[in-house]
Amino acid sequence: MKILVDENMPYARELFSRSGVVTAVPGRSIPHDVLKHADGLMVRSVTKVNQTLLAGTPVKFVGTATAGTDHIDQQALAQQGVIFSSAPGCNAVAVVEYVFSALLLLAERDGFALTDRTVGIVGVGNVGMRLQQRLQALGVRSLLCDPPRADRGDRESFQDIDSLINDADILTFHTPLYKEGPYCTWHLMDEARLRALKPDAILINACRGPVVDNAALLRVLQQRHDLSVVLDVWEPEPDLSIALLAQTDIATAHIAGYTLEGKARGTTQVYEAWCEFLGKPDPVALDSLLPVADFSNIELHGPLDQPALKRLVHLVYDVRRDDAPLRKVAAVPGEFDRLRKNYLERREWSSLHVTCDNEHIASQLRALGFSAAAR
Ligand SMILES: NC(=O)C1=CN([C@@H]2O[C@H](COP(=O)(O)OP(=O)(O)OC[C@H]3O[C@@H](n4cnc5c(N)ncnc54)[C@H](O)[C@@H]3O)[C@@H](O)[C@H]2O)C=CC1
Ligand SMILES: O=C(O)C(=O)[C@H](O)COP(=O)(O)O
């Protein structure tokens, strides 16, 4: 078997070489020629996989090591008899921890307690659900909007997006990008909705750039200086609007999902699907792949208040380490992708074991996603 993998897919060579010959290629522009000899194609979000890319190739299986699938024309793949698999939920924890890192930073900067704020979560799937659970563990109220789940009769209490805009102090987007259909999310946050945000609201987009109308956002931010904005994703990428970047409070290069765990889960999920496709199942234990984190044990003395949580969270991941480099190089062609390719290793909170004063704090830390035990 010949397998093409995106060069930004950790552990891909190691795993896929168990079943064939692996070639790693830059994902943004995979030359059609190299596909002429590939049986399997393993991509990330930057490769547009469609009829044109696959026509005349022997590719029988396409895997994407990502949660989002808007870069894949699944209908075309089905028509060509190509099997497709994605990696749902692989990096959901990473995105939640990105959101917390950003919120704790803004809370410290602006002097507010997260427990005094209401968070509106738009899109309550793998990311949104985990975000809600961790906010709940912290005692933060959240409001949920997810029309597909509401229509399926899921038992959460869902509201429409305009109610969230009305009531939420923080609005955070975690939907797929749908360009059409009953649940279309393209420019879901349009100019009218942006203008309707509450005074001093915080807007976060860590799903797909076009879910928020970026041109409208720039116009609104030029007039409304009370808003705070966190953008991990842009419309378009990689050539984002430098004017918009300058108006944001936190800006990153589509790396919210980039923990080592998240990327490794993505690769293993796709590898396991590929092995199933070959009829040779090969389950992979994630722990056998991951190295020990640089910081793995810490003692917390005293209560787990917001400042202590912020210090713990930022010990594992401080979003400023990704904000500053983007601001420096965003205007230079190619640099957005270079930041993503050379991404400094980042781990999830669970990689940090916290020893604390008592079981109550330990269980709260575990509910938040850390490893923890009372001393
Ligand atoms: N910035 C990054 O690095 C990452 C971005 N993403 C993006 O975030 C998206 C969400 O990720 P997951 O939670 O893992 O996906 P998911 O598929 O588990 O959840 C998406 C949720 O959005 C809901 N939804 C669909 N249409 C909606 C609408 N019109 N309004 C409100 N809710 C709607 C769905 O019903 C579902 O519950 C992905 O599709 C991907 O595009 C995901 C991971 C990393
Ligand atoms: O999983 C997704 O969906 C994402 O957005 C990925 O985190 C994006 O990473 P790349 O696939 O672009 O490396």
Right CATH for 91-251 from 3.90.120.10, 1.10.1040.10, 3.40.50.720, 2.130.10.10 = 3.40.50.720
Residue 308 identity (one-letter amino acid)? A
Domains 2-86+259-288 and 297-374 share a fold: no
192 CA to centre of ligand 1 in angstroms: 22
Nearest atom of ligand 2 to the alpha carbon of 90:
1
Residue 174 CA, closest ligand 1 atom number = 10
CB of 150 shorter than 6 A to ligand 1: no
ipTM above 0.85, yes or no: yes
Backbone angles phi, psi at 49, to 5 degrees: -105, 115
Terminal alpha carbon distance of the chain: 52
Which residue is closest in CA terms to ligand 2's atom 13? 44
Active site residue 261: no
How is the chain split among helix, strand and coil, in percent rounded to 5? Answer: 40, 15, 40
Residue 294 alpha carbon to ligand 1 centre in Å: 31
- In this prediction, residue 14 carries a pLDDT of 97
Burial of 76 (0-12, 13-18, 19+ CB in 10 A): middle
Distance CA 235, CA 212 (A): 8
Q: Which of 44, 208, 346, 347 is catalytic?
A: 208
Residue 64 annotated as binding? Answer: no
Q: Give distance in angstroms: CA of 67 to centre of ligand 2.
A: 7
Give the integer Cα–Cα distance in Å for 189 and 161.
9
The reported pLDDT for the residue numbered 362 is 98
| HSE-up of residue 369 (Cα within 13 Å, Cβ side) | 25
208 is catalytic: yes
Q: Residue 177 pairs with which residues in a beta bridge?
A: none
Instruction: Specify the ligand 2 atom closest to the Cα of 257.
Output: 7
Rounded to two decimals, the pTM is 0.98
Name the residue ranges covered by the structural domains of the chain.
Answer: 2-86+259-288, 91-251, 297-374
Fold of 297-374: Ribosomal Protein S8; Chain: A, domain 1 (3.30.1370)
Class of domain 2-86+259-288: alpha beta
Cα gap 271→142, rounded to integer Å: 36
Residue type, 5: V
Q: Which residues of the chain have pLDDT under 70?
A: none
Q: Is residue 10 in contact with ligand 2, taking CB distance under 6 Å?
A: no
Cα distance between residue 120 and residue 166, in whole Å = 10
According to DSSP H, which parts of the chain are helical? 12-16, 32-35, 51-54, 74-79, 92-110, 126-138, 147-152, 161-167, 191-195, 214-223, 242-247, 260-278, 286-289, 306-316, 320-329, 335-341, 359-368
Look at residue 33 in the predicted model and tell me its pLDDT: 87
Ligand 1 site, residue 87, Cβ cutoff 6 A: no
What ligand 2 atom has the least distance to the C-alpha of 69? 3
**257: CA distance to ligand 2 center in Å?**
6
Give pLDDT, residue 32: 85
